[in-house]
A and B are shown apart, each in its own frame.
Chain A
Amino acid sequence: MSIIVDKVSYCYSEDSAYKVQALKEVSLTIEDGEFIGIIGHTGSGKSTLIQHLNGLLKATSGHIYYNGQDIYDEDYNLKDLRNKVGMVFQYPEHQLFETTNFEDVCFGPKNQGLDKKEIELRAFEALRNVHFPEELFYQPPFDLSGGQKRRVAIAGVLAMHPEVLILDEPTAGLDPAGRDEILGLLAQMKRELGITIILVSHSMEDVAEYVDRLFVMNGGELMYEGAPKDVFRHYKELEEVGLAAPQVTYLMHELKEKGLNVDLDATTVDEAKQTILAALGR
């Protein structure tokens, strides 16, 4: 059970004056149950890459295997794939259209052809899972706050019971509290529902704390992959491509220079606290 991306390249507007090579021979593997982060500067190809994973875009060259099957095979059922690989787009609140939040969450399961009872059960569950307040279930989505709308949109995808959940910059445009809430929610869902989560972000701080493995994209190519602490060791190179390592990494390096024997791999505030205390001998 895994996703294998094999030398995938993609061009937008292939035969026009505005041709853009958005992906260049990207290869990577994602295992079941992993929490993956994909980071990169704006325009580095993150959104393009993830839209390949559920077949919304078809690679100009290369292959994608889901659970060992080539999704570009003639007889491969893409609709089925989209049921298994859920995708929450950037600013997902812009896709809400039903008259009530509950109805909107029902849209996905309805398309899966489930019966009415099952649909409503799943919608209810999904809204509960994203901690959406029950008194708002039957209100129209259009006058909710941005963060609340985003919860509804995420619930809309969760209700389809995907095996893999992809989120494109789910924290964009949210305040720090909203950001922490959404990210905490994802970590909790991964723990409790055991689904694979792929989180796209351009902020290192976002991903450092939560993900198991990181892919760094740059100019349509895969630049680094590995555990966050391994990736952040390249913080100088990351800076050159317009990304910054978490602030904690910088702090650790500065402390080390000043002579304090701290662990340079600390990336979260918690780890930093531990290693500083240890270095001070407390």
Chain B
Amino acid sequence: MIRDITIGQYYPANSIVHKLDPRVKLFATLLYIIALFVYKGLAGFILITGFLILAVKMSKVPLKFILKGLKAIVVLLVITASFNLLLTPGEVTFFKWGVFQVSDTGIRTAVMMMIRLIYLIIGTSLMTLTTTPNQLTDGLEKSLSPLNRINVPVHAIAMMMSIALRFIPILIEETDKIMKAQMARGADFDHGNIIQKAKAMVPILVPLFVSAFRRADDLAMAMEARCYNGGTGRTKMKPLKYTASDRVAYLVIIGFLAAVILLRIFVPYFG
């Protein structure tokens, strides 16, 4: 039941995208998002679509999997699209009723917004699907390490993030177990009004918090027992190292963003 949540899930496969350095993937995702909000015109749209299709193909992650992430935002998509569609005034109005209207500009912005959101989700899920949480935090720690100089505790933040990520599936599993155990004792989570439903959560939340605190305690103890004392002087078992394909990827993504910007300036037709 609750296990079907797929946010931040990793899809194991042996592909070029999986093997890229996490720093490259973080950087690429950032530039990709910028490109999404910079592009204008059909040419830019085609370029971005082509880039996205290529990236998905190379990642060897089945399309079905990537699209699953969209299910979570269907409601958001529908709401954004209908607001844009119904509330934007334009030159040609096809339909008008009170404050609501359907205009050519409205249709165009609604479609653009949908495309942007969908592409945003697909792009970012592609990154999390091809990068393990550990790699992700490693990459983040390394990328942000210059901030150490202005006394930002980068290592601590990265460590907290990786622990939090690591604990999500554990806590989901735990919730599942506790729910089942209370259901076996006749608890009912599906019926009743809002207050009754909120009350029914108590038998889940209390044990869940108790176990989360216990786990946190155990983990802290285990880390201290193994002499963990923060990031200073700590070496990595698998230090991040750029390879030739990482350098190529950097060039490709920078070239991609440059192309999108140039297209916006020189061929901003349609849309």
Stretch at the interface among B116-124, B139-147, B160-168, B177-185: B177-185
Q: Which of chain B's residues have a CB closer than 8 A to the CB of A79? A: 186, 188
Interface code B3-42, partner A: CB below 8 Å = 1, 0 otherwise? 1000000011000000000000000000000000000000
Q: Give the distance to chain A from B59, nearest Cβ to Cβ, in Å.
A: 13
Binds A, one of B151-159, B202-210, B260-268: B202-210
B182 CB → nearest A CB, Å: 6
- Does A111 lie within 8 Å of B11, measured CB to CB? no
Query: Bound complex: CA of A97 vs CA of B200, how far in Å?
Result: 12
Which B residue's beta carbon lies closest to that of A93?
B207
Q: Is B65 an interface residue (CB 8 A)?
A: yes
Chain B binding surface, main DSSP class = helix
Q: Given the known inter-chain contacts A17-B11, A107-B203, please indicate yes or no for A54 contacting B184, CB distance below 8 A.
A: yes
CB-CB contacts of A101-115 with B at 8 A, as 1s and 0s? 000000110011000
Question: What are the residues of chain A within 8 A of B203 when measuring CB–CB?
Answer: 95, 97, 107
Contact B178 A111 (CB under 8 A): no
Interface residues on B, range: 20 to 34
Q: Which residues of B contact A87 (CB under 8 A)?
A: 181, 184
- B12, B187, B206: the one within 8 Å of A17 (CB): B12
State whether the Cβ of A156 lies closer than 8 Å to any Cβ in chain B. Answer: yes
- Among residues of A, the one whose C-beta sits closest to the C-beta of B205 is A97
Contacts of B183 in A (CB 8 A): 56, 82
Looking across the interface, which residue of chain B has its beta carbon closest to that of A105?
B185
Check if B82 is an interface residue, CB within 8 A of chain A.
no
CB-defined contacts of A51 to chain B, threshold 8 Å:
180
Knowing A51-B180, A89-B177, the reply to whether A94 touches B211 (Cβ < 8 A) is yes
Q: Which residues of B contact A97 (CB under 8 A)?
A: 202-203, 206-207, 210
Known contacts: A89-B177, A94-B211, A96-B207. The answer to whether A17 contacts B185 by CB under 8 A is: no
Counting chain A CB atoms within 10 Å of each CB, the highest count among B178, B181, B182, B185 belongs to B185
Assuming the contacts A94-B178, A107-B203, A142-B210, asked whether A89 and B185 have C-beta atoms less than 8 A apart, the reply is no
Q: A13-B3, A17-B11, A97-B203 are in contact. Are A89 and B180 (CB under 8 A)?
A: yes
Chain A residues near B178 (CB-CB < 8 A): 94-95
Contact A111–B188 (Cβ < 8 Å): yes
Give A96 to B65 CA distance when docked, in angstroms: 37
Query: CB < 8 Å: which of A89, A92, A94, A160 contacts B186?
Result: A160
Known A-B contacts A17-B12, A89-B180, A94-B178; A157 and B207 likewise in contact (beta carbons under 8 Å):
no
**B167-178 contact mask (Cβ, 8 Å, vs A): 1 or 0:** 000000010011
Residues of the B chain whose Cβ atoms lie less than 8 Å from the Cβ of A86:
184
Cα A157 to Cα B183 in complex, Å, equals 11
Question: For residue A97, which residue of chain B has the nearest CB?
Answer: B206
Given A79-B188, A82-B183, A111-B187: A17 touches B65 (CB 8 Å cut-off): yes
B83 to chain A, nearest CB (A): 33
Is A83 engaged at the interface, CB distance under 8 Å to the other chain?
yes
Interface centre among A16, A54, A107, A142, by most B CB within 10 Å?
A16
Given A17-B65, A94-B178, A56:B206 Cβ within 8 A = no
Q: How far is the CA of A177 from the CA of B118 in the complex (A)?
A: 60
Give the shortest distance, in Å, between B92 (CB) and chain A (any CB).
Answer: 45
Given contacts A17-B11, A94-B207, A95-B207, A107 and B180 within 8 Å (CB-CB): no
B117 → chain A, closest Cβ, in Å? 24
Shortest beta-carbon distance from A110 to chain B in Å: 8
CA distance A79 to B65 in the complex (A): 35
B65 to chain A: which residues have CB within 8 Å?
16-17
Give 8 nearest A-B pairs by CB, closest first: A111-B186, A97-B206, A87-B184, A95-B181, A108-B185, A89-B181, A97-B203, A56-B180
Which residues from chain A sit less than 8 Å from chain B, CB to CB? 13, 16-17, 51, 54, 56, 79, 82-83, 86-87, 89, 92, 94-97, 107-108, 111-112, 142, 156-157, 160
- Given A92-B181, A111-B187, A160-B186, 6 other A-B residues pairs in contact with their CB atoms under 8 A: A16-B65, A51-B180, A107-B203, A108-B185, A142-B210, A156-B185
